[in-house]
A = this chain, B = another copy of it.
């Protein structure tokens, strides 16, 4: 799909934090791995990048773990994708032509571009908070 494995994992793991953590209740990476079905060491590595970019928060040592602040929760999902996959993954030409834009579109541009732009727009608009709320309210589902 248009998301790498890594960014899928990252989204799942961050949403898990959005649902189950806060400043007073941090979660260790080993306790996330099983419920979302992603290798523990893999999550650990992804989380490091996300902490560095201030998408998620962490404290180390005993009683430490990962969590989301209110500020964290108000960020757009697309940030996760851009950090893990790079911005180009979502925006580059579908045939990988160097020059492909409205002026000089590739043969698939007209077919795919409007829908893809819509996807990007939707991803930009949606915050982690909102996605988590959907799950809480039973409009969508996380595990497995």
- The interface of chain A, by Cβ under 8 A from chain B, is 1-3, 5, 8, 11-12, 15, 77, 89-90, 92, 94-100, 104-112, 115-116, 118-119, 122-123, 126, 131-132, 134-135, 139-142, 144
Contact = CB atoms under 8 A, between A and B. Distances in A.
5 contacts: A1-B94, A15-B107, A104-B141, A107-B134, A115-B119
Contacts of A126: 111
Contact of A140 (B92, B110, B132): B110
A133 to B, nearest CB: 10
B118 A11 contact: no
B140 A106 contact: yes
A59 to B, nearest CB: 26
B105 A141 contact: yes
